[in-house]
Structure 1
Amino acid sequence: MSLNSKSRDISKLANIFGASMGTVSIPKLFSSHFEADFSGSGKREQITYLLNKYKEDPKELLYIVQEIINNHTSVTAKNITPINDSLISLNLKVDPETYKAEIIRVPIHDVEMVLNNIAAENPMRFEDILPSEIIQKAKTMAQAYMIIYCSENTLRLFIDKISIEKFGDNYWNSLNIPRELKDKVGIRKKEETKNLFHALRGEKELFYLDMDDLGRVIEQNWDIFKTYFPNLSFIRQRITELTITRNLVAHNSKISDEDYLRILLYYKDILRQIGSL
């Protein structure tokens, strides 16, 4: 989407939102987002400033749009359509029934189509800065991320289910959790309260732990988890390998085809062991 298109849509949104904000003070509503004094300007100008400032930051933009909608005096199913028409260039949309704003997730094949269109305009230059093998590798990385995401959350749900069966819903303090992991959870929860515009990790402490941390929880509470695995080294080895690849993917580092096949195999191994739950 071109910059001109974004600017045009931001102007439309500012007109729509600015017209019906009632007595709401935009600078007060977004006090931490203004770097200059806009108290003397109109709501359209204030909203234009915010949308322009954060137009490349999807999470901040999502927060801003949601807050505006929450405080808007005349958002209806009828005028959601023009709002959504202008939000598309910002990769956002608003559900016409719940009025909840959300980020538009672009499917991988759509990303590839956009890249191919760009390459068609200047094939020689594009190949210099983004060789085709990088695009192919990106597809593998996307698939690897999906396996890792599923693996990590499968482990969380497994630990959660077994712990509830053993200790009840409030199992966290009954598990043997190393002090450094409890501290990590506390720090991450505290940081989360400072950044309310970011999505919450989850309701339970397990969602504030990383994959290798989940392995330590299983290891430190082996008595309640051991019936699901042949031995401790079985699950320890697989979580270690998954964690290594997870970190590579998280930092956009290359992974080999062997790495990809390994994490796929290990996830299947884990599912076979706990699939009877």
Structure 2
Amino acid sequence: MTPRFDAIFADAGALWRAERSLLLPLAGMFFLLPMLGIILLIAASAPPLDLPADQAAAALSAFYQRFGQTHIVPLALANAAIDYGIFIMLNLYLQGTGQTLGRVMVHALRALFPFLVLELLVGLGLSIGVSLFVVPGLFVFARTWLAAPALAANPQAGLIGALRQGWTGSRGLVGFLLLAVTAIVFVVGIGAMVIGSVIVGLVGGLFGGGLVAETLSFLLIATIGAGIWTALTLLRLAAYRAVLARQGM
């Protein structure tokens, strides 16, 4: 029996309501702060915005091409923090029964390296697939997206076992997962730049520009990003729980 999409969204909402007192500080520490750091790093090293239109386009293109190479260490640390936050949330629901948040965080930290390797492999598969044919890359990412909660639920299975369970378990959820990963790639990726520009313009118009408007803009963008990552993590978990229910586990 294929799980219904509305049931997955409803379960994600129930998961949020059950643990929001813990999820809010977790999202603030592991999603909002790293994203705010990345935003500030971009703002500090971006080219001037008052260049002529023909020069600005070339300058921005060159900036984004070299940004990842120039700031590889802080970007890697920020992404590792975000991945750790995701893994803590997964462990909170899948391994945290009867445990304090501190014990859950320690347990997640001990098993973090395999999780980081898993996320790196899944991300590489997506990047390679998207760079070649786009849709196959999204399909492979969708079929492996549930490997992360599978690893959190059963770390003894290892990377291969988690990837296998994620692939087989997602068989009835391909449509839902394709929508989810498309949101990750396009909304969180490309859409973030558009949303960020709109927010900066709106806040600048309300507060007349300056440091206060810029700070509020960056904080609002990071807060929205943290909310998106939290929602996607809960949907990922709810989809995995739907797979377990379908399999009678």
- If asked which structure has higher relative contact order (CA below 8 Å, sep 6+), I would say 2
Which of 1 and 2 has greater Rg? 1
Is TM-score (shorter-chain normalized) higher than 0.5?
A: no
Shorter-chain TM-score range: under 0.3
Specify which structure has the higher proportion of helix: 2
